[in-house]
Amino acid sequence: MIVGVTRSTDRIDAVRFATRYGSIDVTATGFVDASGDAALAWEAGLACRLPEREIYGSQQLVVEHVDEGRRPDAEELAARIGAKAEAFGLHRQDGLAFFFPDRGTAVLNMTHIEAPLDPIAAADAQIRGKEQADRAVALLRAEFPEAFGRSRVRSYGFPGRRQTRWVAAVHQLTVDEVRAGTRFPDAVARTAWPIELHDTPQGYVWETFGPDHVHYVPLRSMTPPDVHNVLVAGRCIDGDAAALSSVRVMGPCAAEGFAAAHVLDLVGKDSVHDVDLGALAERVAENVEG
């Protein structure tokens, strides 16, 4: 866990971590904030953004003793959850189940929970998330007894957090740029993931694109303006809420981490703002071209 940052005017010099064996200071030439919550940037006093309204996370869970041979199809499942969620005290009124063939297990994505950054509120949300997960299982047992009648919780995941706090970078990716598929000169990642904005307790926006659509992430959306040796990667890069919802998925997150490592390698002790974009483009070509 990050517990402190040593910073000079325009660089991060060291990060202090707490571990179960005591604290440790890590010095490095450059840093990548891949914390999801922009924890490093926040601790360093860099400008960050918060969502204007709650973006909900989900408490995932694994259920066992499922008869997956008799499972409902995805549309039927979602429709029944929509009809019965309120009666079972579920906030979210849709849901997905991912079945594991021949293991009698399924992963359920059926809840919406807040994702606060305050420790007490986060712990409280985690408890309420598990309550929601239990209600989801009760609904499935009652509504689909053939498939889920004997099911029970095998394990709860960590609270799934979608969009919590992110950096204010040199460029904020916009939903217009996502819809237009704007190709930036400093593009480092691309994806065709829909806009997936979980901004109501009941459901979420799911806006798909045409078959040839891709949209891009520019390096500037990973680059905080006031420091020379810090980049961010993953769900804490800069985008408006809808744009971010379409690039915070696993593929582009991984591509951003790949690009960030190459930028730090290319610039050494110089500024990430001065990276040779031609050299970077060669290194990240497999994630951007084609």
Binding mask 167-206 for ligand FAD (x = CB under 6 A): ----------------------------------------
Amino acid at 42: W
- 151 forms part of the interface with ligand FAD (CB under 6 A): no
Binding mask 62-101 for ligand FAD (x = CB under 6 A): ----------------------------------------
DSSP assignment string, 148-216? HTT-EEEEEEEEE--S--EE--SS-B-HHHHHHT---TTEEEEE-PPEEE--SSS--EEE---TT--EE
Using CB under 6 A, which residues numbered 94 to 133 contact ligand FAD? 109
Longest CA–CA span in the chain (Å) reads: 63
Give me the least distance between CB of 149 and ligand FAD, in Å please.
25
* φ, ψ dihedrals at 285, nearest 5°: -55, -40
Using CB under 6 A, which residues numbered 29 to 58 contact ligand FAD? 34-37, 39, 57-58
Return all residues near 190 (Cβ < 8 A) that are at least 6 apart: 214, 215, 216, 217, 252, 255, 287, 288
- 250 forms part of the interface with ligand FAD (CB under 6 A): yes
Q: Which residue is nearest to ligand FAD (CB)?
A: 234
Number of residues assigned to the chain: 290
Given the complex with ligand FAD, which of 105 and 111 has the nearer CB atom? 111
Name the site residues for ligand FAD (rule: CB under 6 A): 1-2, 34-37, 39, 57-58, 60, 109, 160-162, 234-235, 248-250, 253
